Amino acid sequence: LSYWSQTIVILVSNNCHSERSDESPYFVRVARNIDSAKKVQKRIAPNDRVIEMTASFMVLALLTVAGMAAAMGLRNAVHCVLALTLGFVGIAALYLQLGAQFVGLAQIMVYVGAVAILAVFAIMMTHNPESANSPVFSSQWIWGCIVAAAVFAVLARAICSSAAFTQVLPPQPDATVHQIGDSLMHRYVLPLEIMGLLLTAALIGAVVIAMDRREEMK
């Protein structure tokens, strides 16, 4: 449900972009930017593309990758969840760096505040039979690493050789938190209410299942 809610938020924010498309200054700005980008593109050959990277992006990317890698490799499950939380914070910071305040704050509230805490509770309330000497990884771990590395190589090759990056894209206009909230409360109020109803039904269902189990135990 958290994935769905975040997807709906992203769709709403994209529609906020399209709602503003009838403003003439935006069209003028887009046309001006496309013209300037085409002029720059004429001077740069397709093979001479330079991958630009700011220092803040590098720091946040390293933080995120380190957190996720630690979450995958650490022995203690609680430490893994804490490292995962660090990765979530890094992703939220990347969203905020891109100017997507709503998605960044939703990432912090939903993933850092809810999903990570849920994972900690799931680990603490589940009996863990693993001893300190038992191996963390499966015996076939080398094949798993090879498959993951191969998948990354294929994806990286596809990304680097894609022709989509040679096209000139219009700049994305800003969608403020106020605009997204306004859209959620007016145009998309029905999907929002349906989502709330679905979450309430899931909550009641979880309580009913828990009550049945307690009665069975008695």
Interatomic CA distance for residues 150 and 158, integer angstroms: 12
Q: Kindly tell me which residue out of 117, 151, 194, 197 binds other proteins, with binding defined by CB under 8 A.
A: 151
**Spatial distance between the Cα atoms of 119 and 84, rounded to a whole number of angstroms:** 10
Q: For residue 180, with 0-12 CB atoms within 10 Å meaning exposed, 13-18 middle and 19 or more buried, which class applies?
A: buried
Residues in the chain: 218
Query: According to CB under 8 A, which one of 16, 81, 86, 100 is a site residue for other proteins?
Result: 81
Amino acid at 109: M
Between 77 and 199, CB nearer to other proteins: 77
Task: Please work out, in degrees rounded to the nearest 5, the angle formed at the alpha carbon of residue 207 by the alpha carbons of 202 and 210.
Answer: 125
* 31, 59, 117, 145: which one binds other proteins (CB under 8 A): 145
Is residue 138 involved in binding other proteins (CB under 8 A)?
A: yes
Q: Does 48 bind other proteins (CB under 8 A)?
A: no
Which one, of 169, 173, 170, lies nearest residue 19 by Cα?
173
Q: Find the radius of gyration of the CA atoms of the chain.
A: 23
CB of 172 to other proteins, least distance (A): 11
**Nearest-approach distance from CB 180 to other proteins, in angstroms:** 21
Distance of closest approach, residue 44 Cβ to other proteins, in angstroms: 13
Q: How far is the CB of 66 from other proteins (least distance, A)?
A: 10
Of the chain, the end-to-end C-alpha distance in Å amounts to 32
Name which of 39, 37, 89 is nearest 63 in CA terms.
89
d(CA 160, CA 47): 11
CB of 62 to other proteins, least distance (A): 10
- Using rule CB under 8 A, residue 114 touches other proteins: no
Half-sphere exposure of 1 (CA within 13 A, CB side): 13
Cβ proximity to other proteins: between 94 and 106 the closer is 94
CB closer to other proteins, 27 vs 152: 152
Of residues 52 through 71, those in contact with other proteins by CB under 8 A are 52-54, 57, 61, 64-65, 68-69, 71
Q: What are the residues binding other proteins (CB under 8 A)? A: 51-54, 57, 61, 64-65, 68-69, 71-72, 77, 80-81, 84, 87, 94, 119, 122-123, 126, 128, 130, 134-138, 140-141, 143-145, 147-149, 151-152, 155-156, 159-160, 165
